[in-house]
Amino acid sequence: MMGYENQSYEEAHLYASREEMENLVLDEPSPSSNGHSPSGHHPSSPPFTSSDDPLLPSSSSFLHSQNPNSSSSSSSAFNSFLEPPSYADVIFTSFDSSNGDANGHVNANSDPGSSASRPEYLKISVADPQKEMDMSGSIVPGGNTYYTYLITTRTNFPDFGGSEFSVRRRFKDVVTLSDRLSEAYRGFFIPPRPDKSVVESQVMQKQEFVEQRRAALEKYLRRLATHPVIKKSDELRVFLQVQGRLPLQRTTDVASRMLDGAVKLPRQLFGESAVGAVDISEVVQPAKGGRDLLRIFKELKQSVTNDWGGAKPPVVEEDKEFLEKKEKLLDFEQQISNVSQQAELLVKAQQDSGETMGELGLAFVKLTKFETEEAMFESQRVRAGDMKNVATAAVKASRFYRELNAQSVKHLDKLHEYLGMMLAVNSAFSDRASALLTVQTLLSELSSLHSRIEKLEVASSKIFGGDRSRLRKIDELKETIRSTEDAKCCAVREYERIKENNRNELERLDKEKHDDFLNMLKGFVVNQVHPPFLFNWPTFHFGMFQNYYHIQKVNDSFCMIS
Amino acid sequence: MLTTQQRSASGSSQSPRSPSAQPFLSVSVTDPVKLGNGVQAYISYRVITKTNLPEYQGPEKIVIRRYSDFVWLRDRLFEKYKGIFIPPLPEKSAVEKFRFSAEFIEMRRQALDIFVNRIASHHELQQSDDLRIFLQADEETMERARFQETGIFKKKPADLMQIFKDVQSKVSDVVLGKEKPVEESNPEYEKLKHYIFELEDHLAEAQKHSYRLVKRHRELGQSLSDFGKAVKLLGACEGNAIGKAFSELGAKSEMISVKLQNEAHHLLMNFEEPLKDYVRAVQSIKATIAERANAFRHQCELAETIKLKEINLDKLMLIRSDRVGEAEFEYKELKAESEEATRRFETIVRLMNEEIVRFQEQKTLDMGIAFHEFAKGQARLANSIADAWRSLLPKLEACSSS
């Protein structure tokens, strides 16, 4: 959301060469082009992007982003052309290890240098977006174009059976991966995938959008790679390793699911009881996304009964600890959202501040040049000298603040990350809730089946010799009860499993949150105290008539500034 | 004559160091008070004069003045001392007046104080009667003088014509930047004019940015404060060590926010205002340039008229007309007028030459101080911010070890 983006982005540009810096001759009093005022202040570009600007190399487009998540991801792609000469001498303190990458976690997944030394690593990078045509007979002539990304993995996990490999995937594949993970890992805090953002893809420049998406995908995959359970998942492995088409089941859209469900429904309602029972394999999935419309109706009815019915549901959420933690997390979510928002505003204000400082410096540069050229008096030359000092200092300060801000953004980005994580938490909690609902529904069903049998038995016992049809019905019902019991057991197991997952994840979250935030705070504060390069406002002597006027008046030593 | 400081401490009177025997004239504009209601509200200032000059009612005299009184003084001086760069006044600002923010009032007071002191320390201007009236007369006399000045009924018809001509030439020549055919052919002067006009543009831009910088400081301060508050809430929600760390961060942010607001004010008063003053000074010079052009034109016109009169006179003398006497008389009158006009013009040129040197030197000094204040302020701010953050580090360390 700030900074300059080089068209040919490469990570190497984060560390500019010394030569590039040397070319920025700040001490030259007369820049090459004269009289070019920063023409109009474009809202989305910094004032000195014109190539005439004597003090800065020509920088190209200005990455302007609305989405907070992607803005933070683009800042990790932030290319600072204006690296100061002493960048090579930067001192990074030991606990600022998360500098430069999104995941600063315990297992150094993102640390490029440590490939060999660590016991287990899984390093992923996303690059090289390419446009491709969808040849599979689409209706629209000219086909459907989409972008694929080269996903390169380096790992020493035994499951992968290889150490380095690449695949090409498109965004749809990522959506599939994400959906499959949600299904397979209910109750886990699964990092949320990047948005589909259809609107933005229309609004933004294609180039920018693709780059933004690439960065977001990389961030997402790396986060998956740091999740202790998910990084071992088959789904992820298959996604990263299997060439060609992604062999994961495609997510079907809502319409076709509903269609399938509607087909089954009549048989469920009127057909044999076996079909009417809940499919065991489906019990472990939530009703909502599935094809079983009847089940959806039943669970809906159950949830309404839970909320509005007089009686208490058969089983309720009783885990006090869980409920407490949930409350706390709700509060946390609110606070972190607030802080995240303020942090964005803060960063913007810092950026504006730095920019204006730079503009001021430039205005004085021009003034200096003007005074020097048109000087008729010695006093003018002296003044021009003073002005040049201030101008140079202001421009340097501007760059300093910009760099400082870029680093701040990287640190504060953690806040955004946790905001995203809350989505994962909420979805894990709703996994739990829907599993519970399934259990409740099945229990209600069982009890209603039992009472139906009772009624039938009572009715049939009144008929002498037994009621054939009723007895048959009772047998059918008993059959149904058996399969429903099985389903119920399955559902209960699933529910307990999800509860367990929740518990573990909450523990993990607590610990990681503590570590992450501590690192973030340290990183942020250290950055302010030991910034990437040093800058001091210069000392200088003013005017030539120091003796003429009363220097002793109020101020201390004019000449030395601490 | 001793000089006085250009900037006073806020509200307090200033007194240059001076041996008691030397003649001195020191003025301070203080104590702004809002008077009147609604649309007619205005600010009155206390003007304190300390002097040992015989012409003044010494050693100290206090009068109450308002902005229009200062305008009167400036206009009178401008009339009488053509060629001298009259110190500039702060803008009229019809809008802000109604809001009368404390900051606006303080900025105006400071500018007025500087204005009067510059007059008092100018070797020619300080001798002006109008200055004396301004500093000494009681409020009623002042008001009368002010009303008189603005009334045009006092003027003679010839004066009125001259006024109209002046206005016309002023507008068409200088303000609209059109070149009139009758111009001095002085290359150095041309250079100076060109310099002044361009200088104004450059300075205005620098001033604009410096004002923006003040605003940015304030905005940054505000957002840092908001951030701090939000972080503190987060800390309260988290509890335990991290919560404490957040609370500390929040508190520090709020503290730094205050520093930023302070620096913003300092930047405004000690950097942006001097820059604005510089711009105004250049504009005042432009007015003097216009005066010089008028004087030159006047002189040329008279010279032209004389030539015609001469020819006419010779013609009359040749035909032995009885109007010769009359014509001779007129001719002599014109000659005197022409000499007067030439003298006036030459005075302006001489004064301007002196003034420009003085102006350049003064400005170098003024800007030197302003730059110094700017750098000092920024350095101070940066250091105190770094210190504040630094003090947070051990607390963070304590959190991680716990």
Does residue A173 sit in helix, strand or coil?
Answer: helix
Which residue type does B124 have? E
Q: Does A97 touch chain B (CB under 8 A)?
A: no
**CB–CB contact A348 B217 (8 Å):** no
What's the CA gap between A344 and A76, in Å, rounded? 15
Q: Does A21 touch chain B (CB under 8 A)?
A: no
Strand partners, B33: B44
Torsion (CA) A411, A416, A418, A423 in degrees, nearest 10: -170
Cα of B29 to nearest chain A Cα, Å:
19
Residues of chain B positioned with their CB less than 8 A from the CB of A400: none
Cα of A119 to nearest chain B Cα, Å:
25
The tokens describing A182, both together, are: 């949600």
Residues of chain A positioned with their CB less than 8 A from the CB of B222: 349
Strand partners, A165: A153
Q: Does A342 touch chain B (CB under 8 A)?
A: yes
With a CB cutoff of 8 Å and minimum separation 6, the contacts of A401 are: A350, A353, A354, A357
Determine the residue of chain A that is closest to B16 in CA distance: A550
Cα of B69 to nearest chain A Cα, Å:
30
- Tell which phi-psi region holds residue B33, choosing left (phi > 0), alpha (psi between -120 and 50) or beta: beta
Q: Which of B9, B238, B371 sits opposite A554 (nearest CB)?
A: B9
**CB–CB contact B367 A386 (8 Å):** yes
Neighbours of B5 (CB within 10 A): 20
ipTM attached to this prediction: 0.82
Residue with tokens 């499919």: A279
Question: Minimal CA–CA distance to A536: which of B334, B376, B275?
Answer: B376
**CB–CB contact B222 A349 (8 Å):** yes
**CB–CB contact A525 B392 (8 Å):** yes
Strand partners, A463: none
Q: Which of B233, B371, B383 sits opposite A386 (nearest CB)?
A: B371
Residues of chain A positioned with their CB less than 8 A from the CB of B385: 528
Neighbours of A440 (CB within 10 A): 21
What's the CA gap between A107 and A118, in Å, rounded? 8
**CB–CB contact A349 B220 (8 Å):** yes
Q: Extract the runs of DSSP E, i.e. beta strands, from B196-254.
A: none
Q: Does A486 touch chain B (CB under 8 A)?
A: no
Q: Does B369 touch chain A (CB under 8 A)?
A: yes
**CB–CB contact A383 B231 (8 Å):** no
Q: Does A338 touch chain B (CB under 8 A)?
A: yes
With a CB cutoff of 8 Å and minimum separation 6, the contacts of A479 are: A273, A274
Residue by residue, pLDDT tens for chain A (562 residues) are 343 343 333 333 333 333 333 333 444 333 333 333 333 333 333 333 333 333 333 333 333 333 333 333 333 332 232 333 333 233 332 233 333 333 333 333 444 444 445 578 888 888 888 888 776 665 666 567 788 899 999 988 888 887 888 899 989 899 999 999 988 888 899 999 988 876 666 666 778 888 888 998 999 999 999 899 998 888 898 898 888 888 777 666 666 666 766 776 666 666 544 444 556 666 667 766 666 777 788 888 888 888 887 677 777 777 788 888 899 999 999 999 999 999 999 999 999 999 999 999 999 999 999 988 877 888 888 888 888 988 999 999 999 889 889 988 988 888 988 998 999 999 999 989 888 888 888 888 888 889 988 888 888 778 777 678 888 888 888 888 898 898 889 889 989 999 999 999 999 998 899 888 988 998 888 888 876 666 777 765 554 333 333 333 333 333 333 3
φ and ψ at residue A132, rounded to 5 degrees: -135, 160
What's the CA gap between A488 and A492, in Å, rounded? 6
Q: Extract the runs of DSSP E, i.e. beta strands, from B136-203.
A: none
**CB–CB contact A349 B223 (8 Å):** yes
Mutate to test the interface with A, among B4, B223, B231 (most CBs of A within 10 A): B223
Residue with tokens 């002793």: A552
Bond into B59 cis (ω within 30):
yes
What's the CA gap between A220 and A237, in Å, rounded? 15
**CB–CB contact B367 A554 (8 Å):** no
